[in-house]
Chain A
Amino acid sequence: MKISSFSYLIRQGFKGIWRNKMMTFASFCILLVSLIMVGFSILISINLDKIIGNIEEQSEVAVVVRDKVTNTEMIQLQTKIEEIPNVTEVDLYSRDQAWKDMMDKMTDAQKDYFKYADENPLPDVFRLKVKDIQKLNDTTSQIETFEGVESVQAPKEFADMLINFRRIFIIVAIAIVVALVLVSLIIISNTTRASVFTRRKEINIMKYVGATNSFIRIPFFIEGMLVGLVASVCALIITKFSYEGVYNILTHEHKLFGFFGFNNIYSFDSMFLAVTISYLVAGAFIGAIGTSISTGKHLKV
């Protein structure tokens, strides 16, 4: 296609917006609402995912060390544990420290009971955190094989529950987003159908004079895309201010939410680029495709 033809088609797209002001406005409003709904669904999803991730990171594994392990052996064991790729942090909770902490928590009567104990019965323990909770079983099995390890205690059931919860959560989140996108596409294609219907005569004439389907579609496509882009910019502004409002409430004004891990959610600025690109792409895509769907019906002449 020649540049002059392409610029003509782009001009036609702009003219179309002006000619069908009411329909354009209706499409714009629907797209705006759809984008905000989809956008917030995604933002809520990724934040919930982060909160679950934080909970996962906090789950701890305890490696109980056998009695009578020498200091050198202890250091070797720590090094071996640290070398496991899935392990992030390793802290030694020594038997002496554990004994002291236990004593501190005891009442005097309880302490009396241990007064004559000639030896500290507690073991040395390595406390460690894992990167990926899904690999928890593999990591613990590996540690169990190390020399000097008595046992490994890990919150396996809790981990399984979290893994399952996260899996279901991801499926539900994707389903909701896909459903919202589909509903938006259907509504947009129905709204633009009315505007296309008023121009079916024009489309019909184009077909008779030998216009290709793409030639007929391009102005409608551009029209839909422009409406989509304007709607996404507006949706972005609304999302930014609403999100920041909610963010401030959760992180600053009501610190109680921090107990549930809500203080760890993403700030809007950290997601600004991703959100902007997603909105612009989604707006242009839904606008353009929605219009194309309704145009297609009139092309079969």
Chain B
Amino acid sequence: MVEFKDVSVTYSSGVDALNKVNLKINDGDFAFVVGPSGAGKSTLIKLILKEIDATTGTVLVNGYNLRKLRRRKVPALRRTIGVVFQDFRLIPTMTVYENIAFVLRVIDAPAKYIRSRVPYVISLVGLSKKAKSYPTELSGGEQQRVALARALVNDPQLIIADEPTGNIDPELSYEIVELLKGINECGTTILMVTHEHDLVRYFGGRIININKGSIQFDEVIGGSNEDK
């Protein structure tokens, strides 16, 4: 669960990135966060990951009050969150398998669990045949699927997808969102930041529109795919 209570962020440069934002995303929700560049979407993500702290207000993420969370406890918070980035951020010197297994190694998972969990997650994103490939040998869509598997492998409570379709072909974008929807149906909360209105209109669901640091619109809309 993610909850923002009167959260404001003012950067040291004097820029007000968020202004008294109140927001609640319940467990199991799927929400699109939309808005123009500089609206405050990235600030929202940075707050959830505790890369930055709110200037005022309270941020609660998966049971952690981030204002009170100590630096050394940040890894524990981040282990409850999976992140998918626009630029994939895969480690080029590691294979698909190693990139995903890496997350489990970080959290000190048993070797036996790693050996069974990683192939399973790779199969979920449909890349079993490419487990031994390196990221540079994959297409953009495939790389993003690896990133998705990496976000998923740890069975996090929340997945944040920051423009996950920004660097891939439009037709593959739908595939990625379908995958995210599938993960959501298994109970994981998904927060997807995107610029692509077509995608949002197609899938529908909860839409949070941020502009100039404030929430302009937060409602559930029906998707055009439901009409089909």
Q: Which of A5, A202, A212 contacts B105 (CB 8 A)?
A: A5
Q: Which of A2, A5, A8, A202 contacts B91 (CB 8 A)?
A: A202
The chain A residue with its CB closest to the CB of B111 is: A4
Cβ of B76 within 8 Å of any chain A Cβ, yes or no, is yes
Cβ of A301 within 8 Å of any chain B Cβ, yes or no, is yes
Cβ of A182 within 8 Å of any chain B Cβ, yes or no, is no
The answer to whether B106 touches A209 (Cβ under 8 A) is: yes
The answer to whether B79 touches A210 (Cβ under 8 A) is: yes
Cβ of B102 within 8 Å of any chain A Cβ, yes or no, is yes
Cβ of B198 within 8 Å of any chain A Cβ, yes or no, is no
Chain A residues in 8 Å Cβ range of B79: 209-210
The answer to whether A205 touches B91 (Cβ under 8 A) is: yes
Could you tell me the distance in whole angstroms from the C-beta of A7 to the nearest C-beta in chain B?
9
Main secondary structure of the interface of A (DSSP, over half): helix
A19–B94 CA distance with the chains assembled, in angstroms? 12
A204–B72 CA distance with the chains assembled, in angstroms? 16
A19 in contact with B89 given A209-B154, A212-B75 (CB within 8 Å): no
Chain B residues in 8 Å Cβ range of A212: 72, 75
Chain A residues in 8 Å Cβ range of B106: 206, 209-211, 215
Chain A residues bordering chain B, tally (CB within 8 A): 19
Number of A-B contacts (CB under 8 A): 49
A208 in contact with B83 given A201-B89, A202-B91 (CB within 8 Å): yes
Could you tell me the distance in whole angstroms from the C-beta of B86 to the nearest C-beta in chain A?
13
The answer to whether B91 touches A209 (Cβ under 8 A) is: no
Chain A residues in 8 Å Cβ range of B93: 19, 202
The answer to whether B78 touches A2 (Cβ under 8 A) is: no
A210 in contact with B78 given A2-B108, A4-B111, A5-B108 (CB within 8 Å): yes
Chain B residues in 8 Å Cβ range of A202: 91, 93
The digit string for A264-301, where 1 denotes a CB below 8 A from any CB of B, is 00000000000000000000000000000000000001
Cβ of A117 within 8 Å of any chain B Cβ, yes or no, is no
Chain B residues in 8 Å Cβ range of A201: 89, 91
Could you tell me the distance in whole angstroms from the C-beta of A1 to the nearest C-beta in chain B?
6
Chain B residues in 8 Å Cβ range of A208: 49, 78, 83, 89
Cβ of B63 within 8 Å of any chain A Cβ, yes or no, is no
Chain B residues in 8 Å Cβ range of A4: 110-111
Could you tell me the distance in whole angstroms from the C-beta of B33 to the nearest C-beta in chain A?
18
Q: Which of A206, A211, A301 contacts B51 (CB 8 A)?
A: A301
The digit string for B105-116, where 1 denotes a CB below 8 A from any CB of A, is 111101100000
The chain B residue with its CB closest to the CB of A209 is: B103
The chain A residue with its CB closest to the CB of B87 is: A201
The chain A residue with its CB closest to the CB of B93 is: A19
Between A8, A19, A209, A210, the greatest number of chain B beta carbons within 10 A of the residue's beta carbon is seen for: A209
Could you tell me the distance in whole angstroms from the C-beta of A13 to the nearest C-beta in chain B?
14
A202–B91 CA distance with the chains assembled, in angstroms? 6
With A208-B49, A211-B75 given, name 10 new contacts (CB 8 A).
A202-B91, A202-B93, A207-B78, A209-B150, A210-B78, A210-B79, A210-B81, A210-B107, A212-B72, A212-B75
The 8 A-B pairs of least Cβ separation, nearest first, read: A210-B79, A210-B78, A211-B106, A210-B75, A4-B111, A209-B103, A212-B75, A5-B108
30 pairs of residues in contact across A and B, judged by CB atoms under 8 Å: A2-B108, A2-B110, A4-B110, A5-B108, A202-B91, A205-B89, A205-B90, A206-B102, A206-B106, A207-B78, A208-B49, A208-B89, A209-B78, A209-B79, A209-B83, A209-B102, A209-B103, A209-B106, A209-B107, A209-B154, A210-B75, A210-B76, A210-B77, A210-B79, A210-B81, A210-B106, A210-B107, A210-B154, A212-B72, A212-B75
Interface positions of A (Cβ within 8 A of B): 1-2, 4-5, 8, 19, 201-202, 204-212, 215, 301
